[in-house]
Amino acid sequence: MGELLERETALRALDGTVGKAARGHGSVAVVTGEHGIGKTTLLHRFVADLTGVRVWWGTCDGLSTPRPLGPFRDIAADVSARAEECLAAGDPPHRLHTLLLRELESAHHPTVLVVEDVHWADEATLDAVTVLGRRIGELPAVLVLTFRSGQAQTGHPLHAALGAVQRTTTLHLRLAPLSRPAVARLAGGHDADRIYELTGGNPFFVTELIAGPSEELPLSVANAVLGRCTRLTGDSRELVELVSVVPNRIASEVLDAAFPGWPAAAEEPERHELLTIDDRYIRFRHELVRAAVRSNLPVARKRRLHGLIVDALLTTGGDPADIVHHAEAAGRTGTVAAHALAAARHAAAMESHREAYGHFRRAAEFADRVGPAERAALFEDYAQTAYQVGHMGEAFTAADRAIALHQDRDDHRAVGRCLGKRAHYYWVVGEGNAAWQQARSSIEVLESRGPSAELATAYNQLTDLAALSGRADEALLCGDRALRLAERLGSDSAKWRALVGMGTMRMQHDPDDTHMLHDAIEGARVARVHDVVVHGLIALTFVNVLWVRPEEARRHARQGIDYAEHHQRDALKDYLQVYLVWLELRAGAWDDAAARIRQLLAQRPSGGMVTDLQAEIILAELAVRRGDADAGDRLAALARKADRTGELSRLAPVLELQIEWALTRAEPAPVDRFERVMRVVGEEPATQGFGAARLAAWATVLDLPSVYRGKSPEPHAAMMRRDWHAAAESFAAAGWAYDQALMLSLCDGAAELAQSLEIARSLGAHPLAEHVVRRMRHRGMTVPRGPAGSTRANPARLTDRQFEVLALLSEGLTNSEIADRLSISPRTTEHHVAGVLAKLDVPTRRAAARRAAELGASRL
């Protein structure tokens, strides 16, 4: 193997990961860089120098729609016979994950698993990478991932996968181009400066220009590559052109069928370092060489070569995804039509949803070539995969087509099932009335056909919709029907889901009535009904947030995130993370909450209304409380979306923000809006449950009557008594400083208003601060001095009071000592300390004390 310039540091770093793996401390190594920068060359040198280490090497496909689990199919034979059988049988991906983990755990020597070109990875491959990456720290193994810089755009699932394994990513190598001196060493007698100007130091480009056939440098790298190909004789050139139309590599058995006698023709391109050959595959030495050769072929010739590959794949029983890719390129629509559906079903079984969507979409173009039953099933599956990847318009269209086709066949059970799916799609996009209508239609159709699993699912769906809308009677009725039917059918999934729905409804009325929900979560955990477990933990989080029990909510959210992460339920994990951000916001970490919520939204490959709407509530809350210029427009748009859901859980927090907006800006109270929301939610939801309690509390603020008659969260109960001070104390006990300040702003005493103003200023809640100042001036009270110019001058933007607190922290004082020194309450001291830590972006008081000297606070 030739000299490898300016990669010594990278090789030492990779060697270090193997040393740690040998001691049982595995890691993920990510190698990135531009096309041709030498990622593969680096890794080949890395593994070539290893001894006593097992190496598995897989490559992701550059197909138009990749094979599910492509790189793991490459390594299956090396892993175990059971792994090969698992993939051949189309077993669920979690079984492959288990086999891989067991094999890595039981190995006597370290393992290096290379997955190349993960920017091309299918969804199932990224899931497998995520599972391995999360567990790698406990294994004697190194997971090496390569991807090309700039290939994964914002929202690509690769970003989520890399984010998920970030905690175990101990090495991130971004390979740089070669320096001018390194290029000069490689150039030999060639014009090194000219080569450097043409290539920018890209190693592949450098070597190709130097290897050109003429004495003079070619005008481009493509010319250099093609110049080498022109020296090949007939069969060798034909072979190179054939291999160029196959992304990454071609299996030897496929080449045996497509080009009999190819080994003789391969000798010349192998000698010229165009092709590399191993026991199973033939490939170009570099993907850029393949691309250059392929791009120079006439269209008609490319089609003919793709046709040869199609025939060979059909002969050898090739993967349906490969067949479809080459058949499309060959213009053989009949072959595409015959295999697209099989490719789609295989991808769906592997949970490669993006790939399944692409194949179902393609298969739908040829739907008239299959029988009525298969056509109806095709559109039903197409709708589901479109929903799974966020193409909601296509999901609705395909679902409508499926329903019509099932109706033509008088398959009423299938019609009811599809109506239920369409109800869920409407809920995801925030169309509450349509979701209710479709859910009820689904039940009506299915009840006419007798007991079925589909009917149990439909009952559960209506239970969830009723619970979210605060309709307790209907939620408990449908939940009971679902439970009895599930027990009759022996369906664990339907049973535990029913109990989660009813348990959630009961906790809405009484946060201490947790028995049913906890039992349901544990039962689902034992039965391995993972979605239901996470939904139950979401319910516990959601209920405790709205009952103002942040510590309980935070605990359940973290449990749910860990469980969802372990079981690859990323959409549900996102939803829980949004609630954690909301808790951060309520605790006063506004900047962190804003950054985190935008990061979450940017990382999500696709999404529906549900998580996005909750995120928009958080961003609107920040905008209203900071006084952002677009706060009014943001709030109006959010209200329109919340109205469409018809759900009390969405309407109540938005209405609260609208009241707060009017209150802090001295604008007329939104009485008409309040009455409209009450009409939307209906009579029953307005009388009981935490959502109704919140509305009743704010009705008191607006001097409106309330019909509420149930139990209330402590601060809202105080609000209903017009005891603003008690409400403030309850919010303070929860650590919700802004809510505390807002309640204090409703008091008439100078001390309460001054405390409200201090908290508002410390948070940067300008509208609330201005509202309190107006009230104090109206009552002839002295308004405390606001933040000095030092706030604007210091980089952390600490207020004067926060500087004082920081100075006292640097002296090692406790909160109670700081409170005594500054003559403020311990609770207010806690808020100031939390604000200081958040603004300084430090985790501990000791770290804050160290920053005090840098900011000059220690001299105060």
β-bridge mates for residue 32, sequence order: 147, 174
Q: Coil, strand, or helix at residue 171?
A: strand
Lay out the sheet containing 250-251: strands in order across.
250-251, 281-284, 275-277
Residue 607 β-bridge partners: none
Query: Tokens for 456?
Result: 């149990």
pLDDT digits (tens, 9 = 90+) for 420-479: 999 999 988 889 889 999 999 999 999 999 999 999 999 999 998 888 887 888 889 999
Over residues 173-209, the pLDDT tens digits come to: 999 999 999 999 988 778 888 888 878 888 888 887 7
Q: pLDDT tens digits for 385-430?
A: 998 888 899 999 999 999 999 999 999 999 999 999 999 999 888 8
pLDDT tens sequence across 568-592 = 677 788 889 999 999 999 988 888 8
Q: Which two tokens stand for residue 327?
A: 């058949």
pLDDT at 859: 40
User: Domains of the chain (ranges plus CATH)?
Assistant: 8-176 (3.40.50.300), 180-229 (no CATH), 232-297 (1.10.10), 794-860 (1.10.10.10)
Question: Is the Cα dihedral 606, 608, 609, 610 positive or negative?
Answer: negative
Indicate the pLDDT class of residue 660, thresholds 50, 70 and 90: very high
In a 3-state reduction of DSSP, which class is residue 572? helix
**What average pLDDT score do residues 60-80 get?**
88
Task: Report the predicted TM-score, pTM, of the whole model to 2 decimal places.
Answer: 0.74
Residue 2 is predicted with a pLDDT of: 61
Q: Which two tokens stand for residue 740?
A: 């505390």
Q: Which of 374, 413, 382 is nearest to 399 (CA)?
A: 382
CB 90 within 8 A of CB 346: yes
434 Cβ contact list (under 8 Å, min separation 6): 423, 426
pLDDT digits (tens, 9 = 90+) for 329-349: 999 999 999 999 999 999 988
Rounded-to-integer distance, Cα 701 and Cα 662, Å? 12
Highest mean pLDDT among 53-67, 212-226, 321-335: 321-335
pLDDT at 71 over 50: yes
Render pLDDT for 485-518 as a digit per residue (tens, 0 to 9).
Answer: 999 999 999 999 999 999 998 998 889 999 999 9
Question: What is the predicted pLDDT for the residue at 409?
Answer: 95
- For residues 78 and 56, the answer to whether their CB atoms sit within 8 Å is yes
What is the predicted pLDDT for the residue at 36? 85
- What pLDDT, in 10s, does the model give residues 689-739? 677 888 889 999 999 888 787 888 999 999 999 999 999 999 999 999 999
* Number of Cβ within a 10 Å radius of residue 666: 11
The C-alpha atoms of residue 431 and residue 609 are separated, in whole angstroms, by 9
Burial class for 616, CB neighbours closer than 10 Å (0-12, 13-18, 19+): buried
Close Cβ partners of 2 (under 8 Å, ≥ 6 residues apart): none
pLDDT of residue 547: 92
Average pLDDT over every residue of 532-558: 94
Percentage above 90 pLDDT, the chain: 52
Distances (CA, A) of 602 to 50, 124, 573, 612: 39, 21, 15, 11
**Residue for token digits 């372990």?**
566
Q: Is the pLDDT of residue 791 over 50?
A: no
Q: Between 361 and 468, where is the model more confident?
A: 361
Tokens 């829980």 correspond to what residue? 576
pLDDT at residue 606 greater than cutoff 70:
no
Give dist(CA 324, CA 328) in Å, integer: 6
Query: Tell me, what's the pLDDT at 215?
Result: 47
- Give residue 211's pLDDT: 72
* Confidence check: pLDDT of 216 > 60: no
Alpha carbons 442 and 465: distance in angstroms, whole number: 14
Q: What is the mean pLDDT of the chain?
A: 87
pLDDT in tens, 112-125: 999 999 999 988 89
pLDDT digits (tens, 9 = 90+) for 737-790: 999 999 999 999 999 999 999 999 999 899 999 999 999 999 999 998 765 544
| Residue 160 structure tokens | 């989520």
* Dihedral over Cα of 454, 457, 462, 465: its sign: negative
Residue 218's pLDDT is 53
Residue 603: its pLDDT value, please? Answer: 67
Rounded percentage of the chain residues whose pLDDT exceeds 70: 92
Classify residue 685 by its DSSP letter.
G
Residue 548 has pLDDT above 80, yes or no: yes
pLDDT, position 166: 66
> What whole-number distance in Å separates Cα of residue 767 and Cα of residue 761?
10
